[in-house]
Amino acid sequence: MGYASTYAAELKGVTFKRGERTIFNDINITIPRGKVTAIMGPSGCGKTTLLRLIAAQLSPDKGEVWLTGKNLPTLSRSELFDMRKQMGVLFQSGALFTDLDVFENVAFPLRVHTKLPEEMIRDIVLMKLQAVGLRGAFELMPDELSGGMKRRVALARAIALDPQILLYDEPFAGQDPIAMGVLVRLIRQLNDALGITSIVVSHDLAETASIADYIYVVGDAQILGQGEPADLMDSDNPRIRQFMKGLADGPVPFHFPAPELRRDLLGET
Q: Which residues bind other proteins (CB under 8 A)?
A: 52, 55, 57, 77-78, 81-82, 84-85, 87-89, 91-98, 108-109, 111-113, 154, 157, 161
Q: Are 138 and 130 in contact (CB under 8 A)?
A: no
Closest separation in Å from C-beta 245 to other proteins = 32
Q: Using the 8-state DSSP alphabet, how is residue 256 labeled?
A: P
**Closer CB to other proteins, residue 9 or residue 205?**
9
Residue closer to other proteins, measured from CB, 107 or 244? 107
Q: Which of 200, 7, 192, 8 is nearest to 90 (CA)?
A: 200
Nearer to other proteins, 71 or 93 (CB): 93
Of 90, 87, 35, whose CA–CA distance to 202 is shortest? 90
Q: How far is the CB of 83 from other proteins (least distance, A)?
A: 8
CB closer to other proteins, 43 vs 78: 78
Helical (H) or strand (E) element with 227: strand 222-227
179 contacts: CB under 8 Å, gap ≥ 6? 146, 147, 148, 151
Query: From the CB of 192, what's the least distance to other proteins, in Å?
Result: 23
Q: Which is nearer to other proteins, 47 or 52 (CB)?
A: 52
CB nearer to other proteins: pick between 115 and 262:
115
In the bound complex, what is the minimum distance in angstroms from residue 112's beta carbon to other proteins? 3
CB of 80 to other proteins, least distance (A): 9
Shortest Å, Cβ 53 to other proteins = 13
What dihedral do alpha carbons 145, 147, 153, 154 form, nearest 10°? Answer: 140
Of 127, 129, 140, nearest to 100 by C-alpha is 140
- With beta carbons less than 8 A apart as the criterion, state whether 179 and 94 touch: no
Dihedral angle computed from the Cα positions of residues 41, 46, 50 and 52, in that order, rounded to the nearest 10 degrees: 130
The whole-angstrom separation of Cα 252 and Cα 145 is: 38
